[in-house]
Amino acid sequence: MTSRRKFVQQVAALGTLSAASAIAPTLARAQAAKLRVGLMLPYTGTFAALGNAITNGFKLAIEENEGKVGGRDIEYFTVDDESEPAKATDNANRLVQRDKVDVLVGTVHSGVVMAMVKVARDSQTLLIIPNAGANAATGSQCAPNIFRTSFTNWQPAHPMGKVMYDKGHRKVVTLTWKYGAGEESIESFKEAFTKLGGSIAKEMYLPFPNVEFQPFITEIGSLKPDAVFVFFAGGGAVKFTKDYAAAGLKDKIPLYGSGFLTDGTLEAQGASAQGLLTTLHYGDGIENAKNKQFRYAYGKKYGVQADVYAVQGYDAGLLLGGGLAAVKGSFGDKKALYAALEKVKVDSPRGAWTMSRAHNPIQDIYLRRVEGNANQVIGVAWKALEDPARGCKMGA
């Protein structure tokens, strides 16, 4: 009995619902036309903090636009990619095929992003990359529907070659993990440094994500180079700066790095990182109104300080908003949409930037010095640096 009564109630409820939607057809249409955004980012594992910061930044940008892009409401579909390249293709396909997302946003890990690039190229889905720096994504694998709001691995490391040469260093040792981001960073640094006349005494690598640095530190001590350039991030960066300082090398052989060496890790690094010089497309103390407003809003909403990852996520939101506004939220004419995205001038907290022909930011790279718990910007290491986008035939 009860079940039948329940059934009758449900039918009645359904009736009222459909009647309501018949009365308000415009409402129903607006709901059907929600923009489907697929966030594929790491929410667990080593890069979980980065994935969360990017998501926060992205959502903040959308909210500042009254929760809409190009006049359309947004529906989010979220996948935790776990920074696991083996699962990357399946995860991306799930968003594209099952959830039918209009735009794919992700991710942090370079190996995972290359799988996303492949899926985006095959399915012609719009992809916005808010972190992963793999050169190929806007290089040999560049495509009209792939955009990046962060950096290429080539970008932050390149200016350091000039900075270190100008400081009078001529013979340098490099050290990094033997994986994509590390090797591409070292390659880019070396290109700039040797072009000016500097020489690399030794290139050293260790397997990712091994953190047993002691043998290399001993070797650096006996090679006695003018300076050391490294690429490390996260836990490895903390351990390296601490080991380097504990071995007594910090004051004898100056250490430099790509900005990730000291980003989001300063509290853990403590004294071992004080005074280090690094280069990156963001930093503390960038004096522009946008940055102040962004940092205030972000801090108020999430209760934590914004970092470079939050900025990149925020810029992904700004890019999508700007591009879709120009085509009134329509995905009908893909060509017009991509052209609009290319023309967006992103008013970023890092300073306004524009897209290169390969769809990667043309941006200033800052020189920063660690002071207390801040990566204080002390100058621009390279103005409006554009990635060479080697192998990209688009727009050439």
Residue 97 DSSP class: I
Q: At what angle do helices 289-302 and 48-64 cross, to 10 degrees?
A: 110
Cβ atoms of residues 330 and 240 within 8 Å: no
- In the complex with another protein, the residue whose CB is nearer, 100 or 224, is 224
Neighbours of 44 (CB within 10 A): 12
- Residue from 99, 183, 243, 347 binding another protein (CB under 8 A): 243
How far apart (Å, rounded) are the C-alpha atoms in residues 239 and 352? 34
Please report which helix (H) or strand (E) contains residue 374, including its range. Answer: strand 374-385
Q: Is there binding between residue 111 and another protein (CB under 8 A)?
A: no
Q: Which stretch binds another protein (CB under 8 A): 29-37, 45-53, 149-157, 349-357?
A: 45-53
- Residue from 8, 24, 86, 246 binding another protein (CB under 8 A): 246
Q: Is there binding between residue 350 and another protein (CB under 8 A)?
A: no
How far apart (Å, rounded) are the C-alpha atoms in residues 207 and 266? 24
- Residue 13, exposed/middle/buried by CB under 10 A (0-12, 13-18, 19+)? exposed
- Residue 113, exposed/middle/buried by CB under 10 A (0-12, 13-18, 19+)? buried
- In the complex with another protein, the residue whose CB is nearer, 74 or 253, is 253
Residue 234 DSSP class: H
Q: Is there binding between residue 200 and another protein (CB under 8 A)?
A: no
Q: Is there binding between residue 67 and another protein (CB under 8 A)?
A: no
Please state the closest distance from residue 85 (CB atom) to another protein, in A: 15
Q: Is there binding between residue 267 and another protein (CB under 8 A)?
A: yes
- Residue from 9, 124, 214, 373 binding another protein (CB under 8 A): 214
- Residue from 28, 211, 325, 378 binding another protein (CB under 8 A): 211
Q: Which stretch binds another protein (CB under 8 A): 63-71, 185-193, 216-224, 351-359?
A: 216-224
Per-residue x/- marks for another protein, 139-178, CB under 8 A?
Answer: ---------------------------------------x
Classify residue 83 as left (phi > 0), alpha (psi -120 to 50) or beta. Answer: left
Q: Which stretch binds another protein (CB under 8 A): 2-10, 193-201, 267-275, 344-352?
A: 267-275
Following CA atoms 104, 110, 112, 114 in sequence, which dihedral angle do they give, to the nearest 10 degrees? 70
Q: Which stretch binds another protein (CB under 8 A): 47-55, 118-126, 150-158, 346-354?
A: 47-55
Three-class secondary structure of residue 81 per DSSP: coil
- In the complex with another protein, the residue whose CB is nearer, 28 or 374, is 374
Cβ atoms of residues 234 and 202 within 8 Å: no
Please state the closest distance from residue 50 (CB atom) to another protein, in A: 9
Neighbours of 34 (CB within 10 A): 14
Cβ atoms of residues 95 and 79 within 8 Å: yes
Please state the closest distance from residue 104 (CB atom) to another protein, in A: 23
- Residue from 44, 124, 199, 373 binding another protein (CB under 8 A): 44
- In the complex with another protein, the residue whose CB is nearer, 95 or 175, is 175
How far apart (Å, rounded) are the C-alpha atoms in residues 229 and 186? 8
Q: Is there binding between residue 226 and another protein (CB under 8 A)?
A: no
The total number of residues shown for the chain amounts to: 396
- In the complex with another protein, the residue whose CB is nearer, 47 or 366, is 47
- In the complex with another protein, the residue whose CB is nearer, 108 or 146, is 108
Tokens of 51: 């994935």
Q: Which stretch binds another protein (CB under 8 A): 11-19, 40-48, 111-119, 354-362?
A: 40-48
- In the complex with another protein, the residue whose CB is nearer, 101 or 273, is 273
Scan for tokens 């040797």, then name that residue. Answer: 194
Q: What angle do CA 279, 314, 100 make, to 5 degrees?
A: 125
Which residues lie near another protein (CB under 8 A)?
Answer: 44-46, 48-49, 52, 178, 204-207, 209-212, 214-219, 221-222, 224, 234-235, 237-239, 242-243, 246-249, 252-253, 264-265, 267-270
